[in-house]
Amino acid sequence: MDSLQDKCVLVTGVTGYLGTFCALELARRGCRVRGSVRSLRQLDEFRKSIDPLLSNPGRVQLMCADLTRDDSWDELVRGCDGILHVASPFPDHLVEDRSALIEAARGGTLRVLGKAVDQGVTRVVMTSSLVAMLEGRNAETETLDESVWGLAGVATDAYTQSKILAEQAAWQYVNEGPGRGKVALTTLLPGLLLGPLLSRDFSTSVQVILKLVRREFPGLPALGWNVVDVRDVACAHVDALVNSSAEGKRLACPGEFLWLVDLAKIINTLPQFSDRPLAVRSVPGFLVRLLALFDPQLKLASARLNRYEAVSDSAVVGTLGWSRRPVSTTIADTVASIFDLGLNKK
């Protein structure tokens, strides 16, 4: 696809944080968007948040579909010119049944690719994650690029395992399975997605900023992430859909690597915190590990202590001409939307 004007693109998980911005970017470029939602109960809130931002709300059509079932997917995919497969479970709590979450991600991905082949859709862009590249790797001793795969066997949580296994299944399907020669795949691997919230139904990825704003951290452990703007990642998805040079590639979409203390310091430069800045004090690692013995969620976090994961964006820049906002702008817009929506207090 050289142009998206009047084309029809399916966005799975369209009501999610990234999915919403993908839909907005597609509509801005003149595309007709068909979005999958798990339940009709999501529709009203989604419409309230997205319709005021669209010049023609009728360009975004929503349909119900479940990644774990075949129902409705033929109708969703039929007539589409391309697919952005963004949907994937992203729990905000510990998952007891790992197999169910992993199967929803892996099986859902294969279901979407299978329907693409059935309906003659030849172009799919899939959202993966930097964890599918970094898990179990060491950025300080290894050269990490898109050829590197995370190690699902050492993953400490179900989400990380699901992202690795779902992306591996996708590439196997298009390179060796029924999709070979029938569908061109691109996977994008973003870091921690931040940016403006459009509704009170916010993404799990924004929790770190929300907890800082609400002063829920008694101290700041040595945790860090590649922070990238959700709007820039949405643009990368849409650009990858229309750029033939992206076909068959994994493209990391990292941002700037920031420690938790760096995030707090940036927030303290914002006007919302000029009178009462956040306390910037570190928590020693041994204390985090001690408390993790009694807190399962903290146990997951403790596995990331002192983990430095800076990643180059040279591949996505070279392939798509990708650019990203300054991280200070991303954080400022995230915080502003949190206050606008009244989420700054519990």
Active centre residues (catalytic): 163
174: Cα separation from own chain's centroid: 22
Query: Is residue 138 packed enough to be buried (19+ CB in 10 Å), middle (13-18) or exposed (0-12)?
Result: exposed
Kind and range of the H or E run holding 74: helix 73-77
Nearest to 15, CA basis, from 67, 103, 80, 86: 86
CA atoms within 13 A on the CB side of 84: 34
Residue pair 104/69 in contact by the 8 Å Cβ criterion: no
Residue pair 227/330 in contact by the 8 Å Cβ criterion: yes
Quickly list DSSP for 239-253. HHHH-GGGTT-EEEE
Question: Which residue type, as a one-letter code, is found at position 263?
Answer: L
With vertex at residue 7, the alpha carbon angle to CA 5 and CA 12, rounded to the nearest 5 degrees, is 125
How many other C-beta atoms are found inside a 10 Å radius of the C-beta of residue 268? Answer: 16
Q: Can you name the residues that pair with 187 across neighbouring β-strands?
A: 126, 250
Residue pair 84/9 in contact by the 8 Å Cβ criterion: yes
Token look-up 């919403």 returns 20
CA atoms of 269 and 273, how far apart (whole Å): 7
